[in-house]
Amino acid sequence: MKRLPFEKPLSELLDKIDQLKALAQSEGIDLSAEIAKIEERATMVRQDLYANLTPIDVVQIARHPNRPDALSLAMMITDEWTELHGDRQFGDDPSIIGGVGRLGDHRVVIIGHQKGHDTKENLHRNFGMPHPEGYRKAMRLMMLANQFQMPIITFIDTPGAYPGLTAEERGQAEAIARNLKVMAGLEVPILSVVIGEGGSGGALGIGLSNRLFMMQYAVYSVISPEGCASILFRDAKKADVAAKALRITASDIMSMGICHGILPEPLGGAHHDWQAVATTIQSQLIDTLRHYEGWTPEQWVTERWQHFRKLGPFIENGEPANMPSFC
Amino acid sequence: MSIVDWFAKKEKSNAQHAQSAKLNIPGDVWIKCPACSAILFQKDLEANHKVCGECQHHFRLSPAERIATMTDAGSFVSHDDAVGPIDFLSFKDTESYQLRIQKAQSKSQAKDAVLTGVATIQGVSVNVAVMDFGFMGGSMGSVVGEKITRTIERAIQNGHPVLIFSSSGGARMQEGIMGLMQMAKTSAALQQLATHRIPYVSVMCDPTTGGTSASFATLGDINLAEPGALISFAGPRVIEQTIRQKLPKGAQRAEFLLQHGMLDKVVHRKELPATIAKLLRLLTPPSLGTPLGTPPSQRSGS
């Protein structure tokens, strides 16, 4: 499994464990006591590293190639999962997946950005960067949910909407904007989980929801730290400084009142235990849907409107309004 | 975000200023058209609504110039001027956000990148918002989001249409995720507006990109644009940097969007007021302000 740059101290120990294991096997000697000792030490080092993560470390975890993807999570948390395809207008964008299934007692529509785990998959999925037809596919599935009164779950995991000529020609900006407007008026609950990378408008395009949860090591940002560094800091190497300044971690987003809950990840990140992640997400979503039982369609629309209406701090006649909790 | 382009242009224009200072050309008498290089007399240009008489290039307008050009003289009343930005993240890149705000405010004499209020346009009452590209690239932070939202809410109250002139590089990075959330806030407000059957005309001016184009600017019931305006999700430089794709000439200009079905009409600045007024008269239902689904017997108005 890919080791992240900040895991260097851990990496040496893991190499050592691999070497000892190989040696034990080839020479037929018992090194289990030594291996156990180093493994114990590795766990301590890992705990220490993960207790002191910087925002750019979290970005690396959020982008780990083995992180659980939207489609796998959808299959793991539902029964009778059936993937559905196409925007009914132009095509079927593999960067956005969607389908129907049962989550606990609820019939649900699930939509998500889809990244790959290796180069071949990523080329197919366009690295999780949707074209307009991806957003229109999402909208078509959300209309389906609205028609048949099914709650909508969205999994957010994208570097951003695809920035290229083909996307521009087919109206990338309009596709995202339209989703925002339509989502605001849907008469079903919408729950979103940022499972990895929440990249700007491309993330928000399926994220105007009643409740937004973030995985512990997920990030959500107006621009990538690298993009911000090269534009504002005039130095692409200052991504770490930009990541800190932008306040993109789950706890930052929560302190600004945008995220409603942080879902804990296994030690070392979600990529170490997909099943544990799926279980956490599943129980949070089922709990939340239970909370909404008995609500009327108007209540969901009103709750969404009231939530977004109060986002955005400003000063008026010397009085600050909508300030985040850390100020 | 395509605010990159704004920074690039700023650097270029600084260089140009330095050059004209050297040649000792008074910059406020003669203006060189950036499109056709014609040398234009400043007063002629202003009399022509800042459109080049040679090639019809549309220069950018300040909010005050836009109001003067588009609305009936003396009809504009501004609202929410007291809403100002706050550096709640204590954001600092090469310069602090606090300082950037101060500089932009003293340059523009306004608190942020949008002017909002009510006016009439050839006799038609409108709730109007005009974005100011001169204020930090017209970037949408919390103040822009709040004032646009209030403009839409005012329309729901007074029943008059919404008219927004966009000119913006996108979301304001210095406000982090809150810049992004303004896309959601303004779009959700437009959803509310739609249930009241109040028309919204969006006029995209040069440039309308990033988070602004991906929210309220492209959500008009009617989407208009000025000739030659750059309108895109990702700006040309972002596209070139991210995916190393060189765009064909004219891509992302208003005419390109019209061709691809993204705009209703590209309208010359001189004809904009008449076009807007005509469309608003045509679109406004006789029972304006009545929510969707209200039976005819309960509708108010003539």
pLDDT band at B21 (very low <50, low <70, confident <90, very high): very low
C-alpha span between B294 and B302 (Å, rounded): 15
Looking at the structure, do residues A9 and A84 belong to the same domain, yes or no? Answer: no
pLDDT of B294 reads 57
- What domain count does chain A have? 2
Q: Is B190 on the interface with A (CB under 8 A)?
A: yes
Give the DSSP H/E element, type plus range, for residue A220.
Answer: strand A219-221
Would A247 be classed as within a structural domain?
A: yes
pLDDT of A6 reads 94
**Closest Cα in chain B to A249:** B177
pLDDT of B291 reads 53
Would A326 be classed as within a structural domain?
A: no
Among A3-17, B219-233, B246-260, name the most confident range: B219-233
Lowest mean pLDDT across A155-159, B19-23, B217-221: B19-23
CATH assignment of the domain containing A78:
3.90.226.10
**How many C-beta atoms lie closer than 10 Å to residue A45's C-beta?**
17
Looking at the structure, do residues A157 and A31 belong to the same domain, yes or no? Answer: no
Does the pLDDT of residue B2 top 70, yes or no?
no
What is B3-13+58-284's CATH number, 3.40.50.300, 3.90.226.10, 2.40.10.10, 2.60.40.10? 3.90.226.10
**What are A223-232's pLDDT values in tens digits?**
999 999 999 9
pTM of the predicted model, to two decimals? 0.92
Give the DSSP H/E element, type plus range, for residue A290.
Answer: helix A274-291
pLDDT band at B3 (very low <50, low <70, confident <90, very high): low
Give the mean pLDDT of B178-205.
97
Would A288 be classed as within a structural domain?
A: yes
- Residue B30, beta-bridge partner list: B41
Give the DSSP H/E element, type plus range, for residue A277.
Answer: helix A274-291
- Looking at chain B from residue 85 to 124, which residues have their Cβ under 8 Å from any Cβ of chain A? 85-86, 88-89, 91-94
Q: Is B176 on the interface with A (CB under 8 A)?
A: yes
Q: What percent of chain A has pLDDT over 90?
A: 95
**What are A38-78's pLDDT values in tens digits?**
999 999 999 999 999 999 999 999 999 999 999 999 999 99
Looking at the structure, do residues A77 and A28 belong to the same domain, yes or no? Answer: no
CA angle at B94 for the pair B89 and B97, rounded to the nearest 5°: 35
The mean of the pLDDT values for chain A is 96
C-alpha span between B298 and A143 (Å, rounded): 29
Looking at the structure, do residues A29 and A148 belong to the same domain, yes or no? Answer: no
pLDDT band at A313 (very low <50, low <70, confident <90, very high): very high
Q: List the domain boundaries for chain B.
A: 3-13+58-284
Looking at the structure, do residues A141 and A175 belong to the same domain, yes or no? Answer: yes
The DSSP output letter for B92 is B
pLDDT of B126 reads 98
pLDDT of B299 reads 53
pLDDT of B302 reads 37
Does the pLDDT of residue A132 top 50, yes or no?
yes
The mean of the pLDDT values for chain B is 90
Looking at the structure, do residues A117 and A142 belong to the same domain, yes or no? Answer: yes
Looking at the structure, do residues A90 and A169 belong to the same domain, yes or no? Answer: yes
Query: What does the longest C-alpha to C-alpha distance in chain A come to?
Result: 79
Q: Is A165 on the interface with B (CB under 8 A)?
A: yes
Q: Do A164 and B243 touch (CB under 8 A)?
A: yes
Q: If we measure between CA atoms, which residue out of A140, A147, A176 comes closest to residue B187?
A: A176
Q: How far is CA B174 from the centre of its chain?
A: 20
- For residue A9, the enclosing domain spans 5-52
Would A325 be classed as within a structural domain?
A: no
C-alpha span between B66 and B59 (Å, rounded): 11
**What are B59-83's pLDDT values in tens digits?**
999 999 999 999 999 999 999 999 9
C-alpha span between A284 and A265 (Å, rounded): 13
In this prediction, does ipTM exceed 0.90? yes
B241 contact residues in A (CB cutoff 8 A): 230
**What are B113-148's pLDDT values in tens digits?**
999 999 999 999 999 999 999 999 999 999 999 999
Would A319 be classed as within a structural domain?
A: no
Q: Which residues contact B245 (CB under 8 A, 6 or more apart)?
A: A164, A165, B239
3-state secondary structure of B34: coil
**What are A155-199's pLDDT values in tens digits?**
999 999 999 999 999 999 999 999 999 999 999 999 999 999 999
Looking at the structure, do residues A44 and A71 belong to the same domain, yes or no? Answer: no
A225 contact residues in B (CB cutoff 8 A): none
